[in-house]
Structure 1
């Protein structure tokens, strides 16, 4: 990748690359821990005495606190200094991970996960900020490629690693594994980042209206999106109350845009059409990535009977293109029109979803191979340029605020995507199951033939006619549910494909600032 830097251009020092490595390792740890508990959830729930409903808070608690911290990270960096802030977060993340791993009650587990989300959320935007501020512009594609790979691979590797640890070692190691990673992170941070002093004036003069609004608004919205479908949305008094709190939070954020000298959430950055286009696309792509990470394992589990480890192997296929193209991707980012890459990525992602609309009740893991590989190409071609465009569209001074807004938008898009998919699956599944049952009347020749064949099979095995008929009816009901689920999955993949296509016109608005031909001026902005 060395020839991506023109002769005579400013190059990053070894210390700069150590700083980039530190930021990247922190981001990888944070993105892994979003999903590492998903596969191990049954074992964790059993150990802490949680029901299935209560167990959802093990994931929701992390997401709720993470999405609050992401936009706060820029302000807290100014208050404490980058190195102090990241060292404190690494130490606290390690402590909260130990708390989760040693938990014997649900309360302790949720408290630990909220702490993990809050400290881990700081590491994602700060990694992007380190890359933007420590690398010259001509080497920015390399740094953003590293960051983009982490954002893509973290959610893919999390369930696989968590499932393997839960099955072969212990679910507690889903958290204990962070101990050596945090130790390595602290070492890299001390070596790669200069010592800095806190600026307590930034704490005193902070936009407290916006901070309070952001904290209650984003956390409440995350809870509504995560729990809304399970609680039947606005039929639940709990969801209505939490939605009202979220609205209050957003009103306070809006007020802060006009009264605060420096708002905690710099919505004014969206006045830049290049940056605003990036945010709109990343919301949709975030919904697609999180949606697929939910849909494919659900299909493999419900329809093909795969366990978490087997499903994880299929999900990892989407990561292969990233490793294969990694050596040439920085060159592509520097030489190919950004719009071409993003549009190509969106089209590949849409095509991969369209391929999966042809799945049947007999489909298994091998039927996802080509769609997963194509999806991996699409995610990479779309997300990598967007990572770079989000930083290149703003000045270095605005990069921390822009990184927070960008990463918050991606996570919020993921939560919104999962909420919409949950509603779609629940309602369309019921619709299709009811429609199939209505078509199987007593006069349905095909239905009667299938019922008779199933009953004959059970009669041959049991010799009891009443039992055989009961089992045949039960078998037919299960087949109806499977067919309804397959039809619903197909419709959901159609919706995701459509969402990607809608983003294509937005991608045409994107622009990359012209880079000077290889001189030091390329990195002076």
Structure 2
């Protein structure tokens, strides 16, 4: 088959593509998705080093991660409309190039202000790549190939954020923090070059720029930006005890309502909220939200416990949590085997149950837990992630017609990120509030030494605080477990998905 020239926007029908071409195109897009998701958490274990290198305080340094999250969460639901305007190939290639250049700028940042600005750009461009991988996979593959594709996407969606602290801690300890961003350059350039050559699933439609609902875009950006800020900063500033949090929370609520109203009455909405009328898609968004809570909350809790209670270094933390990724990768063949033989709803139930069981196994946590004690709960979590995320992808998006996939996949991915943001905010609030409660309860049963012994009092206070903090981590894991147990009750409401047949992949 002769390929159109590089500059041509001619679409190549799926039935004219060989399996090799489709796999290469899909794999290249997965690389872009992986580095975009990896960079959410890659700085989390290295914020202290970045702050030291840029002479910034802890409050400013947290924005290195927050800026990325806010920008990413804004662009994800807009990516479907952007792909319709620019086409999937050109939006993905432009995003990959911009992500690569902004990564270079992050590595070369000269102060904390420039770093935050470049991270926001990086998050915006990285976030736009993520939903397009979902839509392209469902356009390219059917049958068993679609099962493998969904498994791959699900693995990346949950594995990349999990590996972020591991990879980031190792790079910072072995090399230096700028290499957190230098590692994006080679894969970013490869994606930039290969995607325009291989991915030709749609044409640009610049006519969509005329008459687009720009007011809805502004409302969406303000809503998600203020919501993410409220969730990120609320636990640090005592929520509504801070005037800025009150303002951003009210702004998020009002603009969110206005955006929903605008999207439901508009003829050409930028986010397809009407897709929620499809029961499987609506429930799939719910499960995407819950798995987002589980994935991101445990990524937040486990390294924080190892750092604050055990005093582990960034590298030690990375090595201790690495087992989650190992067991998830090992579970990929298991999922592929099960998905070709059993109803995806049963596999989803097994994955959610394993995730809940892993949280139950985290609950007896004590102050001396390390890699050995974390192995079993993290193994169950890794398996649970792999058996729960891919079925949700297929059950939510597999029954939608191709014309709705672009706009719907943005909403689906947004729900995972929102779940993660709310899960982290809830866990941070639990750690703040419950630690004080546990400390006071433990202190009631303590017999302090002579008040003249300041050293003795300090040691008792430190030990009591450590135990109170450890008990609070247990509380947080149990609350995440409850979320997964509740979601199990909803699985029977899903319909079995039977994707429409597609032409043979090798029919030329």
Per the normalisation by structure 1, the TM-score is 0.90
Q: Does 1:330 align with 2:336?
A: yes
Q: Does 1:385 align with 2:391?
A: yes
Given the alignment, which residue of 139, 143, 150 partners 2:149?
Answer: 143
Pairing 1:499-514 to 2, within 5 Å after superposition = 499-514=483-498
Tell me: CA distance 1:170–1:12, structure 2 relative to 1, closer, same or farther (3 Å).
Answer: same
Pairing 1:281-300 to 2, within 5 Å after superposition = 281-300=287-306
CA distance in 2: counterparts of 1:419 and 1:12, whole angstroms: 46
Residue pair 1:515, 1:522 contacting (<8 A) in 2 also: no
CA distance in 2: counterparts of 1:402 and 1:258, whole angstroms: 14
- Listed one character per residue, the Cα deviations across residues 4-62 of structure 1 (whole Å, up to 9, x for unaligned) are xxxxx999532211220121011001001101111111111112222101111110100
Q: Which has the larger radius of gyration?
A: 1
Given the alignment, which residue of 459, 469, 480 partners 1:496?
Answer: 480
Deviation at 1:174, TM superposition (A): 0.6
Q: CA RMSD in A?
A: 2.2
Residue pair 1:11, 1:139 contacting (<8 A) in 2 also: no
CA distance in 1: counterparts of 2:236 and 2:123, whole angstroms: 22
CA distance in 2: counterparts of 1:105 and 1:259, whole angstroms: 45
CA distance in 2: counterparts of 1:166 and 1:520, whole angstroms: 48
Aligned to 2:3: none
Residue pair 1:100, 1:109 contacting (<8 A) in 2 also: yes
Residue pair 2:142, 2:499 contacting (<8 A) in 1 also: no
CA distance in 2: counterparts of 1:483 and 1:99, whole angstroms: 42
Q: Does 1:350 align with 2:334?
A: no
Aligned to 1:402: 408
Q: Does 1:117 align with 2:123?
A: yes
Tell me: CA distance 1:398–1:360, structure 2 relative to 1, closer, same or farther (3 Å).
Answer: same
Q: For this pair of structures, how many residues does the alignment match?
A: 493
CA distance in 1: counterparts of 2:429 and 2:376, whole angstroms: 28
Residue pair 1:213, 1:251 contacting (<8 A) in 2 also: no
Aligned to 1:462: none
More displaced stretch, 384-393 vs 320-329: 320-329
Given the alignment, which residue of 444, 454, 470 partners 2:454?
Answer: 470
- Listed one character per residue, the Cα deviations across residues 231-266 of structure 1 (whole Å, up to 9, x for unaligned) are 111111111111222123213312222332121121
Tell me: CA distance 1:379–1:256, structure 2 relative to 1, closer, same or farther (3 Å).
Answer: same
Q: Does 1:199 align with 2:205?
A: yes
Structure 1 unmatched ranges of 5 or more: 1-8, 441-446, 456-465
Q: Does 1:60 align with 2:66?
A: yes
- Listed one character per residue, the Cα deviations across residues 310-332 of structure 1 (whole Å, up to 9, x for unaligned) are 11122221122222232342232
Deviation at 1:196, TM superposition (A): 6.3
Q: Does 1:36 align with 2:75?
A: no
CA distance in 2: counterparts of 1:500 and 1:395, whole angstroms: 29
Residue pair 1:275, 1:390 contacting (<8 A) in 2 also: yes
Aligned to 2:366: 360
Give secondary structure in 1 for the equivalent of 2:197.
Answer: helix
CA distance in 2: counterparts of 1:167 and 1:202, whole angstroms: 48
Residue pair 1:350, 1:497 contacting (<8 A) in 2 also: yes
CA distance in 2: counterparts of 1:338 and 1:355, whole angstroms: 26
Deviation at 1:195, TM superposition (A): 8.7
Deviation at 1:520, TM superposition (A): 4.4
Given the alignment, which residue of 308, 314, 320 partners 2:320?
Answer: 314
Pairing 1:63-142 to 2, within 5 Å after superposition = 63-142=69-148
CA distance in 2: counterparts of 1:180 and 1:10, whole angstroms: 30
CA distance in 1: counterparts of 2:17 and 2:129, whole angstroms: 25
Give secondary structure in 2 for the equivalent of 1:327.
Answer: helix
Residue pair 1:10, 1:519 contacting (<8 A) in 2 also: no
CA distance in 1: counterparts of 2:163 and 2:36, whole angstroms: 12
Deviation at 1:519, TM superposition (A): 7.9
Tell me: CA distance 1:244–1:510, structure 2 relative to 1, closer, same or farther (3 Å).
Answer: same
